[in-house]
């Protein structure tokens, strides 16, 4: 009775070859796809030479502590094709610096990075023109003050639809 309901076919060498090609072909296709995505996105490299970066660690830590002790604050906004940064000193008053540069890009890739020269406005406001697509962005603000020296701040922000 079983033979009438289910008619099994003979499993040949050709069937086994097809199973092997499908099995290993799937594994190879997935591996190649993952390798392509890994190679085409952010490298994950933060410093080019870890040994040299380790030698500069103490100096960079002192510089960061100096900048934190200044108590400066920054916030950013984006609308249309205008990027705006707001700077305040430790007491919350608008801050004026001689030069402010904004390096804007995506957190995980360097392909969309751009440098925007910011123009000083009223009350610690600095504006620059750039067009940003919707998504998550990160800005590195680099301020230069003749009286206080350099100051940097990283801020992540989202651009909506």
User: Using one digit for the tens of pLDDT, what is the confidence trace for 23-57?
Assistant: 999 999 999 999 998 888 777 777 888 899 999 99
Enter the pTM of the model. 0.70
Q: What is the pLDDT of residue 45?
A: 76
Nearest to 69 by CA among 149, 155, 157: 149
Q: What is the pLDDT of residue 7?
A: 55
Residue 143 has pLDDT above 90, yes or no: yes
Q: What is the pLDDT of residue 118?
A: 94
Determine what percent of the chain is predicted with pLDDT higher than 70.
Answer: 94
Nearest to 118 by CA among 140, 137, 136, 135: 140
Q: What is the pLDDT of residue 46?
A: 77
Contacts of 72 (CB under 8 A, 6+ apart): 87, 88, 89, 90, 95, 143, 151, 153
Residue 19 has pLDDT above 60, yes or no: yes
Are 50 and 57 contacting, i.e. CB atoms less than 8 angstroms apart? Answer: no
Q: What is the pLDDT of residue 140?
A: 96
User: Hey, how many other C-beta atoms are within 10 angstroms of the C-beta on 100?
Assistant: 24
Residue 5 has pLDDT above 70, yes or no: no
One DSSP character per residue, 49-101 reads -HHHHHHTHHHHHHHHHHHHHHT-EEEEEEETTEEEEEEE-TTS-B---SEEE
Identify the structural domains of the chain with CATH numbers, from first to last: 71-159 (2.60.40.10)
Residue 102 has pLDDT above 80, yes or no: yes
Nearest to 92 by CA among 63, 120, 124: 124
> Hey, which residues does 73 pair with through a beta bridge?
88
Mean pLDDT of all residues in 83-101 = 94
Residue 160 has pLDDT above 70, yes or no: yes
Q: In what order do the strands lie in the sheet with 114-117?
A: 114-117, 99-105, 135-145, 149-159
Q: How far is CA 10 from the centre of its chain?
A: 56
Mean pLDDT of all residues in 125-151 = 93
User: Hey, how many other C-beta atoms are within 10 angstroms of the C-beta on 22?
Assistant: 10
Mean pLDDT of the chain, nearest integer: 89
Mean pLDDT of all residues in 118-126 = 91
């Amino acid at each position: 009775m079983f033979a009438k309901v289910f008619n099994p076919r003979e499993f040949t060498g050709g069937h086994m070859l097809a199973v092997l090609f499908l099995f290993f072909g799937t594994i190879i296709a997935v591996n190649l796809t993952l390798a392509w995505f890994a190679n085409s996105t952010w490298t994950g490299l933060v410093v080019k030479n870890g040994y040299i970066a380790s030698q500069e660690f103490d100096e960079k830590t002192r510089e960061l502590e100096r900048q934190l002790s200044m108590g400066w604050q920054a916030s950013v906004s984006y609308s249309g094709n205008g990027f705006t940064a707001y700077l305040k000193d430790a007491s919350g008053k608008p801050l004026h610096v001689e030069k402010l540069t904004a390096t804007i890009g995506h957190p995980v890739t360097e392909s969309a990075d751009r440098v925007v020269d910011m123009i000083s406005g009223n009350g610690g406001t600095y504006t620059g023109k750039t067009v940003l697509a919707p998504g998550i962005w990160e800005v590195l603000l680099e301020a230069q003050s003749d009286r206080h020296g350099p100051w940097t701040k990283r801020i992540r922000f989202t651009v909506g639809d």
